[in-house]
Structure 1
Amino acid sequence: MNLHGNYFLVGMMGAGKTTVGRALAKATGKHFYDSDHEIESRTGVRIPIIFEVEGEAGFRAREAAMIAELSQQKDIVLATGGGAVLNPDSRAALARGGFVIYLRASVDDIYLRTAHDKNRPLLQTANPKERIRELFEARDPLYREVADLTIDTSRQSVQQLTHALLAKLEHHHAHR
């Protein structure tokens, strides 16, 4: 399917940005990037290590630089880290550089998908569910602010999500 331009996926950790992003890129013939993976491959270390060594602020600076760079590419699908929208420059770069899709999942869904994942530095806490709720409440308005389209991911398979997304994108392009 021929959809021009860039597609950027935002949303909480565990919302399915990477999985849906890959499927969307495959369906549209675009190149797929995941900002977290790009940071890991360039630094040569896992994100939890970056958090440990440089703190969240250090990681966020790397993330903002990566998003500034990737958002200027042509014809890509980019999955961003859950906290990428915290940076106003990153929000502006995403809004400017392409069509932003918010994959919105419930706190319960996110908890089920991420609670036992050791690669989630923000969840290494006594009460991960409470932490997810706090993060969701802080970030949901920012995801909404930057998104051109919001898709509810709950109880949908990747295939269903991707089909729904492609249908909405075709519709959007037809009515511009």
Structure 2
Amino acid sequence: MDGDPKIPPPTTSGAADRLALAAQRPVTLVGLMGSGKSSIGKRLAVRLSLPFVDADTEIETAAGMTISEMFERFGEAHFRDGERRVIARLIDGTPKVIATGGGAFMNEATRALIKERTLCVWMDADIATLVDRVRRRGTRPLLKGKDAGEVLTALAAVRNPIYAQARIRVGSKPGPHHETVEAIVTALAAANREMGQP
């Protein structure tokens, strides 16, 4: 159990400095469906005392319908165009944690924007972990009526080399979320230190 994600664990002065350094820039989480972008992202935002935004939720709010409905009514290309516009709006320069949909980083314009204006974190998980996680949610349009393992394996073959362009790669493994959160915080602090604080 991670406990209440709204309550950050106590920090020492050194840890507080690390958190402050990690929270200097917008953070974008990318990766396949089931990699933990939303669940980890919410906890990461609390840890960094930053706002959390789920791009998929923002897209649904803007469109007035679910992502599944958008796929069914208008097709994937229409959805991706809306996704690109929403993410561009979310990346406004203010520090926050943004969870993106699995295909967002595949769009060249969106990928360029994410890489240029945010610290991008690839949430990398193995196929077995992804399959176990996506089974808990039956609303993913790319999996409708298909074998999750086969779809995710095929997606990973195409997308992982693109996700690898992210500045930071963190393994998203089964187990306590706080361990993944702390790994991301450490990597963000190191990246900001290398880049120089804004």
Which TM-score applies when normalising by structure 2? Answer: 0.84
Matching residue of 1:166: 185
Matching residue of 1:49: 69
Measure, in 2, the Cα distance between the counterparts of 1:20 and 1:116: 16
**2:36 pairs with 1:16:** yes
Question: Residue type matched to 2:184 in 1?
Answer: L
Question: Residue type matched to 2:160 in 1?
Answer: D
Task: State the Cα distance separating 1:127 from its structure 2 match.
Answer: 2.0
Q: Out of 70, 89, 109, which is 2:109 matched to?
A: 89
Matching residue of 1:58: 78
Q: Deviations over 1:100-152 (max 9, x none)?
A: 0000011111111113522100001332211111111111011112x111001
Question: Residue type matched to 1:27 in 2?
Answer: R
Seq. identity, %:
30
Instruction: Tell me the SS of whatever aligns to 1:161.
Output: helix
CA contact (8 A) 2:131 2:148 kept: yes
Q: After TM superposition, list the pairs within 5 Å mapping 1:1-176 onto structure 2.
A: 1-2=19-20, 3-145=23-165, 147-176=166-195
Measure, in 2, the Cα distance between the counterparts of 1:116 and 1:143: 24
Task: State the Cα distance separating 1:24 from its structure 2 match.
Answer: 1.3
Report the aligned-residue RMSD.
1.4
Cα gap change, 1:55/1:4 in structure 2, threshold over 3 Å: closer, same or farther? same
CA contact (8 A) 1:68 1:93 kept: yes
CA contact (8 A) 2:119 2:188 kept: no
Measure, in 1, the Cα distance between the counterparts of 2:67 and 2:132: 21
Q: Deviations over 1:43-84 (max 9, x none)?
A: 221110011111111111110111111122411110000000
Task: State the Cα distance separating 1:163 from its structure 2 match.
Answer: 1.3
Instruction: Tell me the SS of whatever aligns to 1:118.
Output: coil
Instruction: Tell me the SS of whatever aligns to 2:105.
Output: helix
Greater CA deviation, 78-87 or 19-28? 19-28
Instruction: Tell me the SS of whatever aligns to 1:36.
Output: helix
CA contact (8 A) 1:115 1:123 kept: no
Matched length:
175
